[in-house]
Chains A and B, each alone.
Chain A
Amino acid sequence: MILKNIFLMFMAGFISVACSKSSDEVVSSKGNGVKIQSWKSSKGAKVMYVHAPQLPMLDIRLVFNAGSARDDKHQGVALLTNAMLSQSAGDWTTDQIAEKFEAVGAKFSTSALRDMAIISLRSLTDEKWLAQALNTFKVVVSKPAFKEDEVKRKKAQQLISIQNQLQSPSSIAKNAYYSTVFNDHAYATPSVGTKELVNALSVKDLKNYYDKYYVAANLTIAIVGNVDQKQARKIAEDLTADLNKGNAAEKLNDVALPVQSQIVHKEYDATQTHILIGQPGMKRGDKDYYSLYVGNHILGGSGFGSRIMEEIREKRGLAYSSYSYFSPMQSIGPFIIGMQTKNEKTTEALEVLNKTLQDFITNGPTEEELSHSKKNITGGFPLRVDSNKDITEYLAVIGFYDLSLDYLNTFNDKINAVTIDMIKDAFKRRIHSDKLITVTVGKK
């Protein structure tokens, strides 16, 4: 699986420059690429905005720093709280809310990851339709009812999701990887939680969680579409009007490296064994970001042509999908090498993966590989921001992780500045062969 790598690029003038009547506090990205404007709402939410007038539609993505890393003792509470936002709110029932969105063709969705709690809206910008979509969105976000019977029903659905993970070897492997690699860190547990702890969640737990984390100071708002800056400002003000100001979530603990290598096997009745190898990788805004990014692109991040794909699939036919990725997060996120192969081939696959990684750490990439990768990454930039959907996702990431507004406009240069020595140095310092965690799920 090719993970979506979140990065943005300089792109000459295809998204029109927003008509900037920028008051003092509006900060804009430099250059003539994707023009991002950013400001704080009066309640303290961070707004990220790009004017995209070509289609009569609007995307809004709200990201609260309220992912499951904030679960603490109440595993599953972040996901359940987030899911409750599509249920009764204000004076409206769940049915009414769904009807209000859908009667105007609006799309509403929620999701909770480890870092982020996300609430998204897509609407037409036709005035009569947009007004109803936005008004419903506002109530859903700021007046959730957390009704007892609805919480009970959503909880039951979350328990089904947990069961569903238990019949998926890839989910079992992922959960085992996180719990071993992140040990006592908040990233160790899955967003969906465990049966016992989800069962134990109460309405009060959800309300407390909501009150603490669903506050303006803990929120990033991405707005992309056919609204001018003035409208975008008004939308951001309206959406946050009924939220408490609150505080930004506290910094998460640092992630500790594993003390030593460890192999975790989970027996599972299947034809294939799922393999994950890795350790804590890097965080957002990491000083080694570009070196590790380009290095991983060559190692296993770019599909065909990457070393892992060549060794595992192209040379040996061991797997359909084989890859490696860094997932930078608030704290250090995972570095993962993954694949799945028929049970009998597990030992061979593990040998090849470890040898490939070791060789890469020791010798780094070749000049040819580096130049090829740079061409791919920089030449492919236009593709990464050629839809409003992509731009919205990237804005949310840049805002949420406090990356520079010029992230896009400088990205190509930073990629081009990476050298073989930088990659070798970064991999040697960051990836420790004697501390790798290996997870296998399958039949021995």
Chain B
Amino acid sequence: MKKLVLLPRLFPRSLVLFLFFAVAPNAFAVEAKSNPVKVYETRLDNGLKILVKQDNRAPTVVAQIWYKVGSSYEFGGTTGLSHVLEHMMFKGTKKLGPGKFSKVIAENGGRENAFTGKDFTAYFQQLEKSRLPVSFELEADRMRNLTLPEEEFKKELPVVMEERRMRTEDKPRSLTYEQFIAAAQISSPYHHPIIGWMDDLKNMKVTDLQPWYQKWYAPNNATLVVVGDVKPEEVFELAKKYYGPLKPSENIPELKPRIESPQYGERRIKLQLPAKLPYLLIGYKVPSLNTAKEEWEPYALEVLAGVLSGGNSARLPKELVRKQQIVASADVGYDMISRQSGLFIFDATPSAKFSVADVENALYKQIEELKSTLVADSELQRIKAQVIAGDVYEKDSIFYQAMILGQLETVGLPWSVANEYVDKIKAVTAEQIQQVAKKYFRDTTKTVAVLEPVKQ
């Protein structure tokens, strides 16, 4: 899935890492031999939650600070606010001038960036381990002391608009995806794009940002995640020193549920854009781990995603790409770690001799197959093997390990979900996959978007 899950302030060095989140099973420890790595947890008096995981393979550390705020906290008219604020977080505090944050981190040999998602805004530094205090000092400072100067805002807002042009306006598929998401979700806060609508950006004022910052940027609305060659008790001490003195916010608002309103039949949109290739998106409304009434359902949907597109031997590449040759590529995406219910999405590019309608029908046949026939044991075994292996592979990245913990905490799930993941996936049965297919892949929750290329 080429969907935009996160908006980094700069392109991350490996975009794959970020997109991986949306596509691949997020695997975690459990095979008999592998012990889940212990997560150390504490909370400061001011409410800041701290999670630490040790990995001493290299003398490096990653520190991430996660705030419970993102595009799903926003309202019409000021969409994109969280992301613009993320940009402005580099524009100076009472102590540190605009742009200085990045310079200090660079001088310490560090890498840094930030990203905004639907349900979170996060900032991180990767450093040689002895430099961790630098990260804490700077992040603690900008958690409460941002100055938000008008003249900096005036220069940064056009940057964000350029970002939107680059990511969305000039990319026919991204534009299709954005409108598809908005069509599928009407009253849910996932309706609007993370980066915000262009008109909202144009009319944004620095005075919109100040209350947003005051409201959400506080220790009692944040989680600090540290993974690397560190000692947990030392990290806790260090965190106490720098973050401890910060005052908690007393007016963190209670979130309204903003549950998506019912859908009464299929929705369908068409985009006619200058492009060379047609493109198809189909989405069904599905629960997340947070909203599922039956806890096994998201795991069954996760395995179902694996049956369809988890590797080159999965059904879509095998049946649609190679056997029928109807599509040039086809993929599915499901994100179980989100605050609210979301979408299970199919996306496909037809091969030269087939139309979008052919592709759509072929995908429906695949869905019918899932409803009518139990998934073969060999398919389940393959997915489970991939999850077990993935659990080991992901330990090759301390950044990714930190990311999982931060995301879980920030959408309101305990980090222990990470350690249960492999077992929960292993427990999924063929019958459960069939059940979720029948329950959720229905016309009354379906939205279809078609990109129809027009000549320039």
In the complex, the answer to whether B398 meets A104 with C-beta atoms within 8 Å is: no
User: Is the CB of A414 closer than 8 A to any CB of chain B?
Assistant: no
In the complex, the answer to whether A305 meets B111 with C-beta atoms within 8 Å is: no
Chain A residues 165 to 217 lying within 8 A of chain B, measured CB to CB, are 166-169
User: Is the CB of B349 closer than 8 A to any CB of chain A?
Assistant: yes
Chain B residues 392 to 419 lying within 8 A of chain A, measured CB to CB, are 392-393, 395-398
In the complex, the answer to whether A319 meets B57 with C-beta atoms within 8 Å is: no
- Give the residue name and chain of the A residue nearest to B228 (CB): A386
Please indicate the chain A residues that have their CB under 8 angstroms from the CB of B318 in the complex: 95, 98
Interface string of B68-96 (1 = CB under 8 A from A): 00000000000000000000001000000
In the complex, the answer to whether B10 meets A2 with C-beta atoms within 8 Å is: yes
User: Is the CB of A4 closer than 8 A to any CB of chain B?
Assistant: yes
- Give, as a whole number of angstroms, the nearest-CB distance from A415 to chain B: 12
- Give the residue name and chain of the B residue nearest to A160 (CB): B328
Segment at the B interface, from A63-71, A244-252, A371-379: A371-379
In the bound complex, CA of A51 to CA of B325 (Å): 43
In the complex, the answer to whether A56 meets B392 with C-beta atoms within 8 Å is: yes
Chain B residues 308 to 332 lying within 8 A of chain A, measured CB to CB, are 310-313, 317-318, 321-322, 325, 328-329
Interface string of B128-160 (1 = CB under 8 A from A): 100100000000000000000000001111111
In the complex, the answer to whether A272 meets B170 with C-beta atoms within 8 Å is: yes
In the complex, the answer to whether B103 meets A55 with C-beta atoms within 8 Å is: no
Please indicate the chain A residues that have their CB under 8 angstroms from the CB of B252 in the complex: none
Interface string of B411-441 (1 = CB under 8 A from A): 0000000000000000000000000000000
In the complex, the answer to whether B398 meets A303 with C-beta atoms within 8 Å is: no
User: Is the CB of B126 closer than 8 A to any CB of chain A?
Assistant: yes
User: Is the CB of A11 closer than 8 A to any CB of chain B?
Assistant: yes
In the complex, the answer to whether A105 meets B108 with C-beta atoms within 8 Å is: no
Q: Determine the interface band of chain B, counting residues with CB < 8 A from chain A.
A: 35 or more
User: Is the CB of B256 closer than 8 A to any CB of chain A?
Assistant: no
Given A314-B155, A376-B107, CB of A305 within 8 Å of CB of B397: no
Q: Which of B59, B171, B328 contacts A14 (CB 8 A)?
A: B59
In the bound complex, CA of A389 to CA of B14 (Å): 12
Q: Which of B169, B325, B393 contacts A122 (CB 8 A)?
A: B393
In the bound complex, CA of A102 to CA of B328 (Å): 21
User: Is the CB of B275 closer than 8 A to any CB of chain A?
Assistant: yes
User: Is the CB of A407 closer than 8 A to any CB of chain B?
Assistant: no
In the complex, the answer to whether B276 meets A167 with C-beta atoms within 8 Å is: yes
In the complex, the answer to whether A383 meets B109 with C-beta atoms within 8 Å is: yes
User: Is the CB of A381 closer than 8 A to any CB of chain B?
Assistant: yes
User: Is the CB of A99 closer than 8 A to any CB of chain B?
Assistant: yes
User: Is the CB of A163 closer than 8 A to any CB of chain B?
Assistant: yes
In the bound complex, CA of A89 to CA of B63 (Å): 45
Q: Which of A102, A166, A303, A316 contacts B155 (CB 8 A)?
A: A316
- Give, as a whole number of angstroms, the nearest-CB distance from A315 to chain B: 7
Please indicate the chain A residues that have their CB under 8 angstroms from the CB of B274 in the complex: 167, 269
Segment at the B interface, from A151-159, A256-264, A277-285, A397-405: A151-159
Q: Which of B163, B325, B393 contacts A153 (CB 8 A)?
A: B325
- Give, as a whole number of angstroms, the nearest-CB distance from B142 to chain A: 15
Given A304-B99, A380-B111, A382-B60, CB of A269 within 8 Å of CB of B456: yes
In the complex, the answer to whether A160 meets B349 with C-beta atoms within 8 Å is: yes
Please indicate the chain B residues that have their CB under 8 angstroms from the CB of A313 in the complex: 159
Given A124-B392, A313-B159, A320-B162, CB of A164 within 8 Å of CB of B276: yes
User: Is the CB of B385 closer than 8 A to any CB of chain A?
Assistant: yes
User: Is the CB of B255 closer than 8 A to any CB of chain A?
Assistant: no
Please indicate the chain B residues that have their CB under 8 angstroms from the CB of A341 in the complex: 162
In the complex, the answer to whether B382 meets A317 with C-beta atoms within 8 Å is: no
Chain B residues 9 to 56 lying within 8 A of chain A, measured CB to CB, are 10-11, 13, 33-34, 56
Please indicate the chain B residues that have their CB under 8 angstroms from the CB of A304 in the complex: 10, 90, 99, 102-103, 106
Interface string of A33-72 (1 = CB under 8 A from B): 0000000000000000000101111000000000000000
- Give the residue name and chain of the B residue nearest to A57 (CB): B392
Please indicate the chain A residues that have their CB under 8 angstroms from the CB of B397 in the complex: 387, 389
User: Is the CB of A94 closer than 8 A to any CB of chain B?
Assistant: yes
Given A98-B312, A99-B313, A317-B157, CB of A2 within 8 Å of CB of B13: yes
**Contact count A vs B, C-beta below 8 Å:** 211
Please indicate the chain B residues that have their CB under 8 angstroms from the CB of A169 in the complex: 170
User: Is the CB of A1 closer than 8 A to any CB of chain B?
Assistant: yes
User: Is the CB of A436 closer than 8 A to any CB of chain B?
Assistant: no
Please indicate the chain B residues that have their CB under 8 angstroms from the CB of A160 in the complex: 277, 328-329, 349, 351-352
Please indicate the chain A residues that have their CB under 8 angstroms from the CB of B275 in the complex: 167
Tell me the count of chain A residues lying within 8 A, CB to CB, of chain B.
Answer: 77
Chain B residues 223 to 281 lying within 8 A of chain A, measured CB to CB, are 274-277
In the complex, the answer to whether B11 meets A321 with C-beta atoms within 8 Å is: yes
- Give, as a whole number of angstroms, the nearest-CB distance from B226 to chain A: 15
- Give the residue name and chain of the B residue nearest to A108 (CB): B312
In the complex, the answer to whether A57 meets B393 with C-beta atoms within 8 Å is: yes
In the complex, the answer to whether A99 meets B382 with C-beta atoms within 8 Å is: yes
Q: Which of B103, B128, B169, B396 contacts A379 (CB 8 A)?
A: B128
In the complex, the answer to whether B313 meets A55 with C-beta atoms within 8 Å is: no
Please indicate the chain A residues that have their CB under 8 angstroms from the CB of B162 in the complex: 272, 317-320, 340-342
Please indicate the chain B residues that have their CB under 8 angstroms from the CB of A438 in the complex: none
- Give, as a whole number of angstroms, the nearest-CB distance from B452 to chain A: 13
- Give the residue name and chain of the A residue nearest to B172 (CB): A167
In the bound complex, CA of A379 to CA of B128 (Å): 7
User: Is the CB of A411 closer than 8 A to any CB of chain B?
Assistant: no
In the complex, the answer to whether A386 meets B60 with C-beta atoms within 8 Å is: yes
In the bound complex, CA of A165 to CA of B90 (Å): 34
Please indicate the chain B residues that have their CB under 8 angstroms from the CB of A108 in the complex: 312
Which one of B102, B159, B395 has the greatest number of beta carbons of chain A within 10 Å?
B159
- Give the residue name and chain of the B residue nearest to A315 (CB): B155
Interface residues of B (CB under 8 A from A): 10-11, 13, 33-34, 56-60, 90, 98-99, 102-103, 106-111, 126-128, 131, 154-163, 165-166, 169-172, 274-277, 310-313, 317-318, 321-322, 325, 328-329, 349, 351-352, 378, 381-382, 385-390, 392-393, 395-398, 453, 456
A-B contact pairs, 28 of them (CB 8 A): A2-B10, A14-B58, A15-B57, A98-B311, A98-B318, A101-B313, A102-B311, A102-B382, A107-B389, A108-B312, A129-B389, A156-B325, A156-B351, A157-B351, A160-B328, A272-B162, A317-B155, A319-B159, A375-B107, A376-B106, A379-B107, A379-B109, A382-B60, A383-B128, A385-B58, A386-B57, A386-B58, A387-B58
Pairs of residues from A and B, 6 with the lowest C-beta to C-beta distance, nearest first? A379-B109, A105-B389, A98-B313, A386-B58, A380-B109, A320-B163
